[in-house]
């Protein structure tokens, strides 16, 4: 029997399915997508967006684990000023692997490919994405690229850092080509997924869901998809050029042969800066959903939040030069990039104000996802402020390529993405698997993760500010205390993640059956059974409310409870 929905405000549609699922026989006419076919083949050949999302979840978590292990290896190595557990070459490979895996195999696909895939069709009231087969293809493209990259890493690995800067990357004798080619292939997965989402949002919305009734997560994924489709080809081309240089030695980046060494950096950051929004915009979407669900209020300034996503997507394309203040670009260019970068801060600040405004006077239900929301606000504000600082040309000249920058991007990009990913995982876990987890452990681990994160990276801000360069194997003894603190923090962070893994796996195996809508959320994705049936809805389509996050305003007591 499913848990009763306290003070149920769910629409009739949900109530109807509730009854159907309550029998716990698994024999009823509409099995959930999880039980509709249980053979391996039924998973591997599925075109169900939900199953594809779950498979992406599996692989993305796997890569998160791999990247995390390498992060810990790097941190352990830095415990002492001299060699600790590996030699210099192994260290170079370790941080390169960590960066490549985390960026291309975890952060970029994490939220769109997993939760975008699973939730987007539910949120627009569709039975699936616009091109289900293409969707499956994108999973296999991703796996092909990832396998190739991992194969390359196991057979020698690369030592260039995830940025693959020329001229080093054209000369290194490590096995760079398969890694670059693997990353190149995963790019197609991004593009295909992005196109699929764009078309889905346009053509698959249920009657009555107009653009301004779309959940904000959909807006965020839409904006992300546009960046993915526009920017990914650039890095695709660039990676090919580097492979060409590395293998055939064309001299495209070699000034002695008429090439341009800085060209690489321009092209790389033209993709990689927007890529940070590919990572962080979906998080913004997740947070918009969570903040209104757990404050029990409609989002404050819906349109501002929606438009600022598009604004970030747009300005994000013109900020890449802030990575190149010391690469010989003119001071004038630098100043322009400096200003444009700060504009991104304005759009982000709009969102932060709206989120905080949503919490204000809300009836906050402090559950695990909300804890991650709080962590996220903190990391975004703190990381964003340091972002404005490093976007200031005069300051960045001294901070460039130091641990200050490492700490900054971990705060904003990793803090943002990891908080968003964990928040989404905890918020939608009952939706995806129909199970509950222990909220107490959820809060404890969230606290450990947020705390650990601070202990890892605040020392790195201090290290960078006092001159510790990035990607160095050895360092002067006076930096050791801060390095030890950072490693200790990383351990706490890892512990928190291990706890999450334990209770979520336990919940999958032996967890209690979750109610269809355990949070009493008004999100459209909750208007069907949890886990949803294969075709998402049974019977008539749900009736969508007038506004996307339609919570009863406490001030308007006379407002109807349900739609």
Partner 1 sequence: MRSPLSNLAAVLALLALAATAPAHALPGKFESDDVIRRAQSGEPPPLQGVDVVEKLGEPVALQARFTDDTGREGPFASWLQPGKPVLLTLVFYRCKMLCNLVVNDQVRAMKELGLKLGQDYSVLTVSIDPKDTPAESQERRGRYLQSMGKPLDADWRFLTGTEQNIRALADSVGFKYTYDEATKQYAHPAVVQVLSPTGTVSRYLYGTSFRTQDVGLALVEARQNKVGLSLERIILSCFKYDAASRRYGFYIFGFLRLGALAVFGALSAMLVVLWRRELKKGTAV
- Nearest-CA neighbor of 221 among 198, 253, 204, 247? 198
Q: Report the partner that residue 202 touches, choosing among partner 1, ligand HEM, Cu ion, none (CB closer than 5 to 8 A by kind).
A: partner 1
What are residue 435's DSSP bridge partners? 513
Report if residue 102 touches ligand HEM, rule: CB under 6 A. Answer: yes
CA–CA gap between residue 405 and residue 409 (Å, rounded): 6
Report if residue 372 touches ligand HEM, rule: CB under 6 A. Answer: no
- Nearest-CA neighbor of 289 among 218, 361, 368? 218
Residue 131 CB, shortest distance to partner 1, in Å, is 11
In the list 193, 341, 417, 445, the residue contacting ligand HEM (rule: CB under 6 A) is 417
Report if residue 267 touches partner 1, rule: CB under 8 A. Answer: yes
Tokens 């509950």 correspond to 436
Angle between helices 176-203 and 132-154 (to 10 degrees): 160
Q: Report the partner that residue 544 touches, choosing among Cu ion, ligand HEM, partner 1, none (CB closer than 5 to 8 A by kind).
A: none
CA–CA gap between residue 18 and residue 15 (Å, rounded): 5
In the list 21, 273, 483, 549, the residue contacting Cu ion (rule: CB under 5 A) is 273
Residue 100 CB, shortest distance to Cu ion, in Å, is 18
Selected range binding Cu ion among 17-25, 70-78, 90-98, 268-276, rule: CB under 5 A: 268-276
Sites for partner 1 among residues 477-506 (CB under 8 A): none
Cis omega (within 30 of 0) on the bond before 178?
no
Kindly state the helix (H) or strand (E) to which residue 461 belongs, with its residue range. Answer: helix 439-465
Selected range binding partner 1 among 148-156, 237-245, 361-369, 449-457, rule: CB under 8 A: 237-245
Report if residue 418 touches ligand HEM, rule: CB under 6 A. Answer: yes
Mention every residue, 6+ apart, whose C-beta is less than 8 A from residue 550: 298, 522, 563
310 near 447, Cβ under 8 Å? no
Tokens 């600022």 correspond to 308
Selected range binding partner 1 among 80-88, 188-196, 465-473, 534-542, rule: CB under 8 A: 188-196
- Secondary-structure breakdown of the chain: helix, strand, coil percentages, each rounded to the nearest 5: 70, 0, 30
* Closest CB to ligand HEM: residue number: 99
Report if residue 205 touches partner 1, rule: CB under 8 A. Answer: yes
In the list 37, 81, 161, 244, the residue contacting partner 1 (rule: CB under 8 A) is 244
In the list 470, 506, 512, 535, the residue contacting ligand HEM (rule: CB under 6 A) is 470
Q: Report the partner that residue 95 touches, choosing among ligand HEM, partner 1, Cu ion, none (CB closer than 5 to 8 A by kind).
A: ligand HEM
CA–CA gap between residue 162 and residue 71 (Å, rounded): 13
Residue 255 CB, shortest distance to Cu ion, in Å, is 25
Report if residue 435 touches Cu ion, rule: CB under 5 A. Answer: no
DSSP conformation class of 435: B
Residue 78 CB, shortest distance to ligand HEM, in Å, is 7
Report if residue 109 touches ligand HEM, rule: CB under 6 A. Answer: no
In the list 6, 210, 330, 394, the residue contacting partner 1 (rule: CB under 8 A) is 210
Report if residue 379 touches ligand HEM, rule: CB under 6 A. Answer: no
Residue 225 CB, shortest distance to partner 1, in Å, is 10
Structural tokens at position 188: 């197609």
Kindly state the helix (H) or strand (E) to which residue 126 belongs, with its residue range. Answer: none
Residue 397 CB, shortest distance to Cu ion, in Å, is 16
In the stretch 202-241, what mask flags binding to ligand HEM with x, by CB under 6 A?
----------------------------------------
Q: ∠ CA(376), CA(379), CA(384), 5° rounding? A: 120
User: N- to C-terminal Cα distance for the chain?
Assistant: 26
Report if residue 132 touches partner 1, rule: CB under 8 A. Answer: no
Q: Report the partner that residue 137 touches, choosing among partner 1, ligand HEM, Cu ion, none (CB closer than 5 to 8 A by kind).
A: none
Report if residue 98 touches ligand HEM, rule: CB under 6 A. Answer: yes
Report if residue 454 touches ligand HEM, rule: CB under 6 A. Answer: no
* DSSP codes, 165-216: -TTHHHH--S-HHHHHHHHHHHHHHHHHHHHHHHHHHHH-PPTT--GGGS-H
- Of how many residues is the chain composed? 563
Report if residue 232 touches partner 1, rule: CB under 8 A. Answer: yes
Structural tokens at position 447: 């606290």
Tokens 């340091």 correspond to 386
| 131 burial type by CB count under 10 A (0-12 exposed, 13-18 middle, 19+ buried) | middle
The alpha carbon of residue 553 and the mean position of all alpha carbons in its chain are separated, in whole angstroms, by 31
Kindly state the helix (H) or strand (E) to which residue 260 belongs, with its residue range. Answer: none
- Nearest-CA neighbor of 320 among 386, 227, 414? 227
Where do contacts with Cu ion occur on this chain (CB under 5 A)? 273
Where do contacts with ligand HEM occur on this chain (CB under 6 A)? 68, 71, 74-75, 95-96, 98-99, 102-103, 106-107, 161-162, 406, 410, 414, 417-418, 456, 470-471, 490, 493-494
Where do contacts with partner 1 occur on this chain (CB under 8 A)? 188, 191, 195, 198-199, 202-203, 205, 207, 210-212, 226, 229-230, 232-234, 236-237, 240-241, 244, 248, 250, 252, 258, 260, 263, 267
């Amino acid at each position: 029997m499913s848990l009763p929905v306290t003070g149920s405000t769910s629409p009739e549609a949900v109530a109807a399915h509730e009854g159907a699922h309550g029998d716990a026989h698994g024999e009823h006419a509409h099995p959930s997508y999880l039980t509709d076919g249980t053979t391996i083949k039924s998973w591997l050949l599925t075109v169900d967006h939900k199953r594809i999302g779950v498979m992406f979840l599996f692989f993305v978590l796997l890569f998160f684990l791999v990247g995390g292990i390498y992060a810990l290896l790097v941190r352990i190595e830095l415990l002492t000023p001299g060699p600790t557990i590996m030699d210099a070459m192994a260290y170079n490979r370790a941080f390169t692997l960590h960066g490549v895996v985390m960026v291309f195999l975890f952060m970029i696909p994490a939220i769109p490919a997993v939760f975008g895939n699973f939730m987007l069709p539910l949120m627009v009231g569709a039975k699936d994405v616009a091109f289900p087969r293409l969707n499956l293809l994108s999973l296999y493209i991703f796996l092909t690229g990832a396998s190739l990259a991992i194969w390359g890493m196991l057979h020698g690995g690369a030592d260039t850092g995830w940025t693959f800067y020329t001229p080093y990357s054209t000369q290194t004798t490590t096995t760079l080509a398969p890694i670059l080619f693997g990353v190149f292939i995963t790019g197609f997965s991004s593009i295909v997924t992005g196109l699929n989402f764009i078309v889905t949002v346009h053509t698959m919305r249920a009657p009555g869901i107009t653009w301004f009734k779309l959940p904000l997560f959909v807006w965020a994924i839409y904006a992300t998809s546009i960046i993915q489709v526009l920017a990914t080809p650039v890095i695709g081309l660039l990676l090919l050029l580097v492979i060409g240089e590395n293998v055939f030695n064309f001299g495209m980046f070699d000034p002695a042969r008429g090439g341009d060494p800085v060209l690489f950096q321009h092209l790389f950051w033209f993709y990689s800066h927007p890529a940070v929004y590919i990572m962080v915009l979906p998080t913004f979407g997740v947070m918009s959903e969570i903040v209104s669900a757990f404050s029990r209020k409609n989002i404050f300034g819906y349109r501002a939040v929606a438009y600022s996503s598009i604004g970030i997507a747009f300005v994000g394309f013109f900020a890449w030069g802030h990575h190149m203040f010391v690469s010989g670009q003119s001071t004038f260019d630098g100043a322009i990039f400096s200003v444009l970068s700060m504009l991104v801060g304005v759009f982000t600040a709009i969102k932060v104000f709206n989120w905080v405004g949503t919490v204000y006077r809300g009836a906050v239900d402090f559950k695990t996802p909300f804890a991650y929301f709080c962590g996220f606000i903190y990391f975004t504000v703190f990381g964003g402020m340091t972002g404005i600082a490093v976007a200031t040309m005069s300051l960045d000249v001294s901070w460039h390529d130091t641990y200050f920058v490492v700490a900054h991007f971990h705060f904003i990009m990793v803090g943002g993405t990891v908080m968003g990913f964990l928040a989404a995982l905890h918020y939608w876990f009952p939706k995806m698997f129909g199970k509950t987890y222990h909220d107490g452990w959820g809060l404890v681990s969230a606290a450990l993760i947020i705390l650990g994160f601070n202990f890892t990276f605040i020392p790195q801000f201090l290290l960078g500010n006092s001159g510790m360069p990035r990607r160095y194997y050895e360092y002067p003894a006076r930096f050791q205390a801060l390095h030890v603190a950072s490693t200790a923090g990383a351990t706490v962070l890892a512990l928190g993640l291990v706890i999450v893994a334990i209770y979520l796996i336990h919940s999958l195996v032996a967890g209690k059956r979750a109610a269809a809508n355990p949070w009493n959320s008004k999100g459209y994705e909750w208007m069907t059974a949890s886990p949803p049936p294969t075709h998402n809805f049974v019977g008539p389509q749900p009736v969508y409310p007038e506004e996307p996050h339609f919570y009863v305003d406490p001030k308007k007591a006379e407002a109807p409870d349900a739609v």
